[in-house]
Structure 1
Amino acid sequence: MNWKLTGRYMTFIVIVVMLVIFVNIAIGTILLLKQVPAEETSPEQFTRQFQKELLVSGRDVTVTKAGTAAIQKSRHGCRCWMKTGRNYTA
């Protein structure tokens, strides 16, 4: 009788451990698959991405239309200081 109780107890422990492992794997998989780039970007990320919107020809620096739209859309781009010394406010 003692072994029967121990066998049931061990079976219960194994089932609980397997259930916890399964739930952890499922949650981890869901979190990995749901990783979507956040809409909110940090000012550093905005600056790195914005460099694609600058056109440099000789001494002239121009912002593309998409860059102007990105500045107006972004909270971080409200005040951009250009190298020319002018403040660009969207």
Structure 2
Amino acid sequence: MQKFTLDDLKRVVGKCLGASEAAELTEESADTPFEKLGLDSLARYEVVTVIQEELRLPIPDDDVDQMATARMVLDYVNGRLAGVAP
């Protein structure tokens, strides 16, 4: 089974928003709201769009709105990859 890791998320954030934003994502900041890390809702949608394209995993907009931290994104994506509806 495929697993989406923090390093994968950092790569996607770096691709979408730049290296400095990706550097903000660490294990210690995984539960910090994206807004406090300087990532607004538009940035979150950009990141999720790339995740959807790379993993061929449709993610409804309502679900994106609930992904407020890196850990929430990881839990959601890995739950979907495992076939578990979040």
Give the TM-score category using the shorter length. under 0.3
Q: Larger relative CO (CA 8 A, sep 6+): 1 or 2?
A: 2
TM-score (norm 2): 0.26
The TM-score with structure 1 as length reference comes to 0.26
Determine which structure has the larger strand proportion and give its number.
1
Flag the structure with higher helix content.
Answer: 2
Higher-Rg structure is: 1
